[in-house]
Amino acid sequence: MNYGFVKVCAATAAISVADPMTNAKAISDCIAEADGKGAQIIVFPELSVSGYTCGDLFNQTTLIRGVEDAIAYIAESTRTAKALCFVGAPIVMQGRLYNCAVAINKGKILGVVPKINLPNYGEFYERRHFYPGGEGVDEVVICGKKVPFGPDIIFRAEGYEDICVACEICEDLWVAESPAVRHAKAGADIIVNLSCSDEVVGKAEYRRDLVKIQSAKLLCGYVYCDAGDGESTTDMVFAGHNLICENGSVIAESKLFENGLLYGEIDVDRLAAERRRTADNFFADSRKYPHTCVSFTLNDKKFALSRKIPRYPFVPDGGDEINARAKLILTMQAKGLAKRIAHAKAKTAVLGISGGLDSALALLVVRRAFILLGKPLEDIIAVTMPGFGTTSRTRDNSVKLIALTGATCRTVDITQSVKMHFNDIGQDENAHDVTYENAQARMRTMILMDIANKTGGLVVGTGDLSELALGWATYNGDHMSMYGVNCSVPKTLVKYLINYEAESIGGECGEVLKDILGTEISPELLPPDKSGKIAQKTEDIIGPYALHDFFLYYCTRWGFSPDKIRYLAGVAFKGVYDDGEILKWMKKFYSRFFSQQFKRSCIPDGVKVGTITLSPRGDWRMPSDAVAALWLSELGIEQ
């Protein structure tokens, strides 16, 4: 299968009311086109074979016979099509007329699903013509064949456990007890809806929200196909408002009053992962919610993704939402810290300021927390601790930012203390090895802890989620504090939050923050180059944070396989990183993510602001001695 993606299509063709054979030909043409483009599930509007607006013509035997002939034509003309297709038709069962969805695959009629909830308002009064479907599954003879009939049918793709499709029809979605709830509980992860929803002002927005919420609460993919041109406009119009949603997000949406084929890809891997996370195993309880399973052949044609894969999954994608999200995150960080400071009755907050991204964000958060508490800003003790690798740019930015935020600045040069420590442990100060680097980080943490003791304060950690994931932190050094405000904020989000603050604050402080954003990411533990600029560049050593945050999101949030993440990264970063670069840094990510877990097992408290945290007290449980071999082998890499 295509990395867990199922290509679906909502197809609104122009129809002729009460002309089933003309409609059958239009439907068959749509199926041929969509199947040829790799669509695996194709959905047509409610009563699309006959037309929804037939009124009392539904009582005509001639129309009912014409519909059955049209269904037979659709089945025969699409024998070579592999897609699972749902067409709407009036079907007679034991002398009663039902508003149904007819499922067709490779020329075979697989089953018939009746509408349960019939509206009794407006122009058409469905109850005037149709009988409501009930629970369970019976059999009906259609086109000379006995097939399952009833709402409790799940269509399962042969060989693919996670592709289970169920159906509800128009009004079934709008009622309090939607049939889709029962379907989802029985294991259906894709719900299709054949609809004929008339258009009035404001209804499109309501309809969109309804479909989104249905897909969110049921953790499913939802394909909503609406009637459009061709239905009678005697008293109302139909806009062909088609929607494809997945777990609360709109994957694709048609424009109003434009017939055509709407494509989208539903990620059933993602849905399965999210359902596995539900503690009470709400879904797939087929014993409690019995359904009849009908198998269908999945179209195995390869297709390219049309849905957007964002490069920065932790960062909002523009618009008004981006500023509102930034404000919310900063408020959550500040609220968490304010509670800890108040509970501990701390007089001061102490943090190290390096002139880099993480410490800048931490200082801004501490300032917000002090304002919330009504505490004097001078009780924020911001400490600059220049060492062997400190550059003038980062040192100057540190001092400026501290002054502009109203905090108290302290400078403690660590070079002599670290040299004395080198002498104590027998370290050659010309050997720029890991001891040379980590001794500086541990010295800085000791200074901060002791200043906090002396001033009755708490040390506020500055390390971010990306560094925790990669273990890019000195054990018992910069990964230790009394509260970590950035612990669930990845590097790409750190940049976005600082940029928000720079734009919001403006002035000289905004300019300093902008310069910090433009500074190379570095721990500055190695001496600068001959020109006095940063020589130790983090992303040259461990790889681009944009990629690592992408890997982290899909690995921990959705449990995707390395092979799928590699594929998604190739789509998201096309033209930026080639497959060789992505593979290189994926190896680095998995190797470090597994080997550095021991550092995450003892991290300090810190506020969770998003769906991912690596705290052992939060959402992540992982043994420190887990082996990465299986994950690396999927990428063809020997550990």
Which residues does residue 260 pair with via DSSP β-bridges, in sequence order? 12
The side-by-side arrangement of strands in the sheet containing 5-12 is 138-142, 145-149, 108-114, 96-105, 84-93, 41-43, 5-12, 260-267
Q: What tokens does 503 get?
A: 């734009």
Of these residues, 100, 170, 245, 487, which one is catalytic? 170
Output DSSP code: residue 231.
B
Segment 182-197, tens digit of pLDDT: 999 999 999 999 999 8
Segment 144-167, tens digit of pLDDT: 999 999 999 999 999 888 899 999
CB 109 within 8 A of CB 87: no
CA distances from 213 to 209, 219, 307 (A): 6, 10, 19
Which pLDDT score is estimated for 637? Answer: 80
Q: What tokens does 408 get?
A: 């108290």
pLDDT at 234 over 90: no
**Catalytic status, residue 400:** no
Q: What is the mean pLDDT of residues 328-350?
A: 97
Which pLDDT score is estimated for 545? Answer: 97
Which pLDDT score is estimated for 284? Answer: 59
Confidence category of residue 480, pLDDT binned at 50, 70, 90:
very high
Which pLDDT score is estimated for 123? Answer: 54
Nearest by Cα to 155 from 205, 191, 202:
191
Confidence category of residue 534, pLDDT binned at 50, 70, 90:
confident
Nearest by Cα to 383 from 450, 435, 434, 335:
450
Question: Which is it for strands 249-253 and 260-267: parallel, antiparallel or unpaired?
Answer: unpaired
Of these residues, 30, 54, 68, 115, which one is catalytic? 115
CB 161 within 8 A of CB 275: no
Beta strands in 40-152 (DSSP E): 41-43, 84-93, 96-105, 108-114, 138-142, 145-149
Which pLDDT score is estimated for 281? Answer: 61
Q: What tokens does 372 get?
A: 């919330």
pLDDT at 122 over 60: no
Which pLDDT score is estimated for 639? Answer: 65
User: What ranges do the domains of the chain cover?
Assistant: 5-296, 321-634
Q: What is the mean pLDDT of residues 412-440?
A: 96
Could you count the other beta carbons within 10 Å of the beta carbon of residue 251? 23
Beta strands in 29-83 (DSSP E): 41-43
Segment 366-384, tens digit of pLDDT: 999 999 999 999 999 999 9
Confidence category of residue 231, pLDDT binned at 50, 70, 90:
confident
- Give Dmax over CA atoms of the chain in angstroms: 101
Angle at 513 between CA 511 and CA 519, to 5 degrees: 105
Segment 26-44, tens digit of pLDDT: 999 999 999 999 999 999 9
Report the amino acid identity of residue 334: A
Residue percentage of the chain with pLDDT more than 70: 97
Instruction: Measure the CA–CA gap between 472 and 464, rounded to whole angstroms.
Output: 10
CB 625 within 8 A of CB 579: no
pLDDT at 19 over 80: yes
Which pLDDT score is estimated for 285? Answer: 63
Sequence-separated (6 or more) residues with CB below 8 Å from residue 582: 547, 566, 569, 570, 573
Q: Tokens 């840094």 — which residue?
A: 585
- How high is the mean pLDDT of the chain? 93
CB 50 within 8 A of CB 20: yes
Sequence-separated (6 or more) residues with CB below 8 Å from residue 147: 109, 110, 111, 112, 139, 140
- 3-state DSSP call for residue 333? helix
CA distances from 264 to 37, 218, 281, 300 (A): 12, 19, 28, 16
CB 115 within 8 A of CB 99: yes
Helix axes 507-517, 491-505, angle to 10 degrees: 160
Confidence category of residue 525, pLDDT binned at 50, 70, 90:
confident
Residue percentage of the chain with pLDDT more than 90: 82
DSSP H helices in 113-178 = 171-174
Of these residues, 7, 9, 30, 46, which one is catalytic? 46
Say how far residue 571 (Cα) sits from the centre of its chain.
Answer: 15
What is 5-296's CATH superfamily?
Answer: Carbon-nitrogen hydrolase (3.60.110.10)
Q: How many CA atoms lie within 13 A of 600 on its CB side?
A: 30
Q: What is the mean pLDDT of residues 331-347?
A: 97
CB 102 within 8 A of CB 142: yes
**Catalytic status, residue 115:** yes
Q: What tokens does 189 get?
A: 């992860």
Instruction: Measure the CA–CA gap between 172 and 179, rounded to whole angstroms.
Output: 6
- The reply to whether CATH 3.40.50.450 applies to domain 321-634 is no
CB 373 within 8 A of CB 338: yes
Note the pTM of the prediction, 2 decimals: 0.92
Instruction: Measure the CA–CA gap between 84 and 90, rounded to whole angstroms.
Output: 19
DSSP states of 458-501 as a string?
Answer: EEEE---HHHHHHT-S-TTTTT--SEETTTT--HHHHHHHHHHH
Which pLDDT score is estimated for 198? Answer: 86
Rg (CA), the chain: 31
Q: What tokens does 135 get?
A: 């629970």
Confidence category of residue 127, pLDDT binned at 50, 70, 90:
confident
**Catalytic status, residue 509:** no
Q: What is the mean pLDDT of residues 246-269?
A: 95
Confidence category of residue 135, pLDDT binned at 50, 70, 90:
confident
Confidence category of residue 582, pLDDT binned at 50, 70, 90:
very high
